[in-house]
Amino acid sequence: MKRFIGLFFMLGLLTSAIEPPLPQTETKKQIVLLIGPPGCGKGTQAAPLSQALQIPHISTGDLFREHMSKNTPLGKAAKQYIDQGSLVPDELVLNMLFERTSQSDCKNGFLLDGFPRTIPQAKALSERLKDAHLIAIHLSLSDEAIIERISGRLSCTHCGLVYHKKYAPPKKKLVCDHCEECLIQRTDDQEEVVKKRLQVYHEQTEPLIHYYAAEKRALKEVDSRGEKDQVFTEILKNLNESLCR
C-alpha cells in the first residue's frame, strides 16, 4: 500500500479528478507498461512515474546501452541490431529482462519502458507474471512529430538524461546539466535509422495495442503531443482509474 501513497499524493496536487485509493486488501504485483513509438516520451515519463508509483523503472534500451558501453557479449550481439534500427531477437531480450525483474527491488512490481515490443514478448511476460495486475499505457504520437523530436535529441553519455536541441537544450552546449558529461546524438537517433525504427514499430510493436485492448481494461490511451507535465497528469489519471477498479 505504501508504494501508492506517492502516487495519490501527486494526483492530489495535479488533478482534482481523484478516485478513492486502493482498498487495503490490494496485494498484487503492479506492472505498468509504456508502449509507444520511439521518441513518444516513454523515457521522459518513466522517471517521474517510477518515483510516484515507487516501483523501479526498467528500460530494455538502457539495459542494452549499458551492456554495449561495457562491451559485454550481450552488448556486442545487440549492437548490430540496435545500430541498424532493428529489434534485438526476443530470446536475448527476454533473458536480460527476466534476470533484471527477478531482483529484489521488483518484488512489488515494476514499470517497463520499451518492453514488450513484439507479441511473443508480451506472451512471455504474461506467462511469467500470471497473477500480476498489468496495465499498458499507449503513448501515441504521429510519425512527423517523432522525426522532429528524435532528430533533435541529445543524450548524456554518463547518466542517460535526454535533452532536445530546440525544445529542452542544456545550459551549456553539449554538456549535461546534471553530471557535466558530454551529450551526443545516439547512432540510432539519426534520421535514416529513425525511419527504420518507425517502420519496425508499425510492423512489430503496434499490434500490441490491439493485443492489450482485447484484454479487459488492460490498455489506456494517452495522447503524448502535449507538454511533459500535462502528459504525466494524464498517465496518472489513467493509472488511478485502473488501480481503483
Strands 133-140 and 30-35: parallel
Q: Binding pattern to ligand AMP, positions 196-225, x when CB under 6 A?
A: -x----------------------------
170 binds ligand AMP (CB under 6 A): no
Should residue 114 be labelled a site residue for ligand AMP when binding is judged by CB under 6 A? yes
Q: Which of 65, 149, 186, 220 is catalytic?
A: 186
- Among the listed residues 7, 33, 87, 154, the single contact to ligand AMP using CB under 6 A: 87
The answer to the question of residue 149 lying near ligand AMP (CB under 6 A) is no
Q: Which of 65, 149, 197, 237 is catalytic?
A: 197
CA–CA gap between residue 75 and residue 50 (Å, rounded): 25
User: Which three cell numbers mark 131?
Assistant: 497473477
Residue of 117, 149, 220, 237 with catalytic role? 117
Select the residue interacting with ligand AMP from 38, 41, 109, 170 (CB under 6 A): 38
Is residue 149 part of the annotated active site? The answer reads no
Give the torsion through C-alpha atoms of 14, 112, 136, 44, to 10 deg. Answer: 40
Report helix, strand or coil for 182: strand
CA atoms of 63 and 47, how far apart (whole Å):
15
DSSP 8-class letter at 88: P
Looking at the Cβ atoms of 19 and 66, the one nearer to ligand AMP is 66
Residues 57, 159: Cα–Cα separation, whole Å:
14
What CA–CA distance (Å, rounded) separates 217 from 213?
A: 7
117 tagged catalytic = yes
# of chain residues touching ligand AMP (CB under 6 A): 18
Contact map string, positions 42 to 81, toward ligand AMP, x by CB under 6 A? -----------------xxx--x----------------x
